[in-house]
């Protein structure tokens, strides 16, 4: 993800007239040289905006990254461990175990094996709303998701802290699952993309809350690119991506708005938990609705 805004070659630093500027401050747009660049949660700000922003919310600087991205590292590790398990369970690097996919993928309702029992969320397998977000179809699928998770997740986690970040990730994952249950409950869906798109949406809410224009920070361009890929490449779970993006933004927006009024991080976590519960209930409802209206839906595995 791009974190800087290019400046004309002739631009000079607003604080040091004899130094050529490298980037522009994302809050005020003034040109700043490398000496004056202060890294915020995403991108760079000038010293004056950093001081002003500190009155309302903390700003992450290069020398004060006390919050290490431990949750992001754990999430990546879990996805890798699950992927290796799927290989050991009868799959390969390019195509993971179909039996594990059939048992734990996000799936609303249907028959996975000819003449077999009804399976899916509507059949009481609610865990699929979560486990589907940790399965991947192959090494390329896993690799692309984990790279984006690292790039985006580390910055959001450093800005929010471990607990709020984890709560936001889970809510985003479930938002994507809910969207899939509404749009394509009869298709097996796997991947962490819904949760990752949710982090992108939450990052937009975070930047807007801190007075940063997402289109100038590079975040907006990254999201547009990924949305285009979502619709252009066959086989991608469109509902999971878009649902996660919208759900993550909505959760983040509500989280920051309520926290600003209450001044309590615990309230923000409670908001994420409450929305996650609503997404679960919505996913279960959508799966049952699909089952009741399409009782003979069959997916041969």
Q: Which of 34, 21, 25 is nearest to 4 (CA)?
A: 25
Give the three-state DSSP class for 39: strand
Burial class for 228, CB neighbours closer than 10 Å (0-12, 13-18, 19+):
exposed
Work out whether strand 118-119 and strand 110-111 pair parallel, antiparallel, or are unpaired. Answer: antiparallel
Work out whether strand 38-39 and strand 44-45 pair parallel, antiparallel, or are unpaired. Answer: antiparallel
Give the three-state DSSP class for 184: coil
* Residue with the two structure tokens 């699928």: 141
What are the tokens at 188? 């097996």
> What letter does residue 233 receive in the DSSP assignment?
S
Residue pair 43/3 in contact by the 8 Å Cβ criterion: yes
Residue pair 109/285 in contact by the 8 Å Cβ criterion: no
What are the tokens at 170? 């889970």
User: What is the C-alpha separation between 45 and 28, in angstroms, rounded?
Assistant: 8
User: What is the C-alpha separation between 35 and 21, in angstroms, rounded?
Assistant: 10
DSSP bridge partners of 38: 45
User: What is the C-alpha separation between 263 and 48, in angstroms, rounded?
Assistant: 24
Residue pair 136/104 in contact by the 8 Å Cβ criterion: no
Q: State the catalytic residue, choosing from 136, 141, 172, 241.
A: 241
In the residue annotation, 241 being an active-site residue is answered as yes
Q: State the catalytic residue, choosing from 97, 184, 193, 217.
A: 193
User: What is the C-alpha separation between 33 and 46, in angstroms, rounded?
Assistant: 9
Query: Which residues are catalytic, by number?
Result: 193, 241
């Amino acid at each position: 993800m791009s974190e800087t805004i290019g400046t004309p070659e002739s631009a000079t630093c607003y604080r040091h007239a004899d130094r050529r500027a490298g980037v522009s401050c994302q809050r005020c747009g003034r040109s700043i040289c490398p000496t004056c660049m202060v890294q915020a949660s995403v991108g760079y700000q000038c010293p004056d905006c950093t001081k002003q922003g500190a009155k309302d919310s903390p700003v992450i600087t290069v020398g004060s990254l006390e919050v290490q991205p431990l949750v992001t590292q754990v999430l990546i590790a879990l996805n890798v461990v699950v992927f290796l398990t799927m290989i050991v369970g009868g799959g390969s690097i390019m195509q993971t175990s179909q039996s594990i996919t059939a048992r734990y993928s996000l799936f609303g309702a249907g028959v996975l094996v000819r003449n077999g029992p009804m399976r899916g969320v509507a059949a009481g397998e609610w865990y699929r709303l979560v486990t589907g977000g940790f399965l991947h179809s192959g090494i390329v699928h896993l690799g692309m998701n984990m790279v984006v998770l690292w790039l985006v997740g580390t910055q959001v986690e450093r800005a929010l802290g471990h607990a709020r970040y984890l709560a936001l990730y889970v809510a985003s994952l479930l938002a994507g699952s809910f969207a899939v249950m509404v749009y394509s409950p009869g298709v097996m869906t796997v991947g962490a993309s819904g949760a990752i798109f949710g982090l992108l949406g939450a990052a937009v809410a975070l930047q807007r809350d801190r007075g940063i224009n997402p289109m100038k920070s590079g975040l907006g361009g990254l999201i547009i690119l990924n949305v285009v890929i979502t619709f252009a490449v066959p086989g991608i779970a469109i509902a999971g991506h878009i649902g996660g993006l919208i759900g993550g933004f909505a959760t983040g927006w509500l989280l920051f708005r309520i926290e600003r009024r209450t001044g309590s991080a615990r309230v923000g976590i409670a908001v994420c938990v409450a929305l996650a519960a609503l997404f679960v209930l919505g996913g279960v409802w959508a799966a049952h609705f699909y089952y009741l209206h399409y009782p003979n839906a069959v997916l041969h595995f």
